[in-house]
Amino acid sequence: MTITLEPTMSRTYATGTGELPSALRATLNQIAVGGHVAAAEFASAMVQTAEVRGGARDIALATLMAAAMSHGPESATAHAVIDAALSLGRRRAADTVTVPSSRVVLVAGSGKKGVRTLNVSTPSALVAAAAGAKVIKVGSSATSSALGSRDLAAALGVIERSTTREVRQDLDEHGFAFVAVEPNIPAIDKVYGGRFHAPNLFSFGLSALASPVRGDVTLFGLSHPQVEVAARVLARFGMADVNVISTRTPSSAYIDEIGLTGELLSCRVRRGVVDQARARALPSSAMPLPIAQDSDEAVARTRELLGGQGLPAHRALVARNASYVVSLSDPSVAPGEAYQRVQDVLSSGLAQPQVMGGGAR
């Protein structure tokens, strides 16, 4: 299903007038009385929030998202809402970037974690690239975390890329390219950006779909237990090779990466077919998750890690996730070898963007 809307609305509804767009008003009433709302109707209501100004918009958004999440969420509804939101920007189809003798891994995630850890996905992508993988990292600025991937990339001097040519050039030269979410979906970001501090319908794939490029395989981290929902959403958008992962920590929080301990949830898409979701116990660990109190600490700790030092728990998390990316990029590399490569990179400091050539230039 595709809902096409004009990027700018012809009518704006002001707070306090008592007037709301018809589809939005009808859906809110259905939610209030416990009625069923079809995916297409829900998507229409969601995009009509763009016509509402002020606090009324945030109230409507909160009501819609809370209702959707409390009823599942359902993959059909998540797909419909993301599809409708993407239509706001009249975006062109994403290009697939390939390189010889390796699979390009696009790494993206939901964010909105239940635990405010140090950033893991961006240093993992940098370390994996330094260990021989080809990685496109898609990231956004922080909403609920101490430091988002985009914020961290900027602090490290990593240049954002927005075109296929730029991404391919960075992959050829350094094995790593960074793509920011917000510049590629400005219409969505204007309406919805920075408003959600917990997992929501957009968490089930928007960041990966915002990228103007795709790889051979997508690694998508989700801070929610319904990994199969994200897999189905991404498959509906034509992503034929996807690994969705989530970790339930011993405290029952969810993080969008492979954790130190707890339960790893995963769901794969292979050749467009969605497998059953799986769960397996992770090895026990006495190390606590590495927490950042603020953005300055998060940047400093990441610099230490990439420079060959860092907190043991942060190092362990990054090593585990980076080695997984290496294995996805080159399935012929055994897990043990991938892990050793990553450890060698972490010890050497070769993952620093300046060493890789990813700094300002």
pLDDT digits (tens, 9 = 90+) for 145-174: 668 899 999 999 999 999 999 999 999 999
| pLDDT value of position 161 | 95
CATH number of the domain enclosing 261: 3.40.1030.10
> Which band of pLDDT confidence, cut at 50, 70 and 90, is reported for residue 355?
low
Domain boundary among 60, 89, 118: 89
| pLDDT value of position 15 | 44
Q: What is the mean pLDDT of residues 241-246?
A: 98
Domain assignment present for 15: no
Same domain, 197 and 58: no
| pLDDT value of position 223 | 94
Q: What is the pLDDT of residues 3-35, one digit of tens each?
A: 444 443 344 444 444 578 988 999 999 999 999
- String of DSSP letters for 224-289: SS-HHHHHHHHHHTT--EEEEEEEE-TTS-EESS--SSEEEEEEEEETTEEPPPEEEEEPP--PPP
Q: What angle do CA 115, 322, 146 make, to 5 degrees?
A: 30
| pLDDT value of position 343 | 97
| pLDDT value of position 248 | 97
73 or 356, higher pLDDT: 73
- Cross-strand pairs, 300: none
Q: What is the mean pLDDT of residues 231-250?
A: 97
| C-alpha pair distances (Å), 142 with each of 3, 147, 151 | 29, 5, 7
Same domain, 77 and 102: no
Domain boundary among 89, 111, 129: 89
Domain boundary among 89, 106, 141: 89
Q: What is the mean pLDDT of residues 295-315?
A: 95
Same domain, 157 and 138: yes
How many folded domains does the chain comprise? 2
Q: What is the pLDDT of residues 321-345, one digit of tens each?
A: 999 999 999 999 999 999 999 999 9
Same domain, 288 and 336: yes
| pLDDT value of position 240 | 96
13 or 117, higher pLDDT: 117
Which structural domain, as residue segments, surrounds residue 46? 22-89
| pLDDT value of position 2 | 44
| pLDDT value of position 360 | 36
Average pLDDT, the chain: 89
Lowest mean pLDDT among 27-36, 179-188, 352-361: 352-361
Q: What is the pLDDT of residues 92-111, one digit of tens each?
A: 789 999 999 899 999 999 98
Is the per-residue pLDDT at 89 higher than 80? Answer: no
pTM over 0.75: yes
Spatial neighbors of 162 by CB under 8 A, at least 6 apart, are: 179, 180, 183, 184, 212
Burial class (CB in 10 A: 0-12, 13-18, 19+), 41: middle
| pLDDT value of position 101 | 87
Q: What is the pLDDT of residues 318-327, one digit of tens each?
A: 999 999 999 9
Same domain, 163 and 31: no
- The amino acid at 102: S
Domain assignment present for 226: yes
| pLDDT value of position 314 | 96
Same domain, 227 and 283: yes
| pLDDT value of position 149 | 92
Is the per-residue pLDDT at 204 higher than 60? Answer: yes
Q: What is the pLDDT of residues 254-298, one digit of tens each?
A: 999 999 999 999 999 999 999 999 999 999 999 999 988 889 999
Q: What is the mean pLDDT of residues 181-201?
A: 81
